[in-house]
Amino acid sequence: MSLKIPLRFDPAFDPKRTELLSRMVERWGNLEGVLTNGNARHRYGYVGSSDRRMTPLLRPGSVVLVDVTVREIEGEDWCNEFDRPMYFVEVRDGYRCGWFQRHGARLLMQPHPLSRCVPEEWRLPDDAEVVGRVVGVVTRLNEPWSILPGESPAARGDSNRKAP
């Protein structure tokens, strides 16, 4: 079992933008693993460090595993935000990763309500193409963006340091 990992990134890589990893990586290497088992049905995507559309569910800087065989947006057969399928979509100005709904020839992205981002809409297939369904995610937790501006961990009282 083998997992491909990026060894060298393209010099034009901008970590602020959401992008497919295959377009950001110049050289790949293999790491023993069980996520893809060398299966070509999966690709990796990257959620840009300035992409907060799905925060707090999908944090900026996350790496997503995309099943490229599932390109049709599913109906509304989900019960909560954790069950709702996410998709990786290519649009004219880059990529989007999150919740999508299809309305005829229109594709609507619904950001997470806590993100404070506005919904976006595109025409299919002219302005958007579904790359695949997100089936896995690797993310960091408790990053600086989870702390409110001007608030330090010590001020919140959750620091392990004892007060002098």
List beta partners, residue 4.
30
pLDDT value, residue 1:
37
CB distance 132 to 84 below 8 Å:
no
CB distance 61 to 68 below 8 Å:
no
Which carries the bigger pLDDT value, residue 10 or residue 2? Answer: 10
Confidence band for 108, pLDDT divided at 50, 70 and 90: very high
CA–CA dist 112, 33 (Å, integer) = 31
Number of CB atoms found within 10 A of residue 156's CB = 10
Angle of CA points 17, 22, 24, to nearest 5°? 45
What is the mean pLDDT of the segment spanning 53-63?
93
**Average pLDDT taken over every residue of the chain:** 81
Confidence band for 30, pLDDT divided at 50, 70 and 90: low
What region, left, alpha or beta, does residue 110 occupy, with left being phi > 0 and alpha being psi -120 to 50 degrees?
beta
> Whole-model pTM?
0.70
List beta partners, residue 6.
28
pLDDT value, residue 139:
84
The domains located in the chain, with CATH, are 41-140 (2.10.109.10)
CB distance 124 to 73 below 8 Å:
no
Number of CB atoms found within 10 A of residue 114's CB = 12
What is the mean pLDDT of the segment spanning 146-162?
47
CA–CA dist 153, 53 (Å, integer) = 25
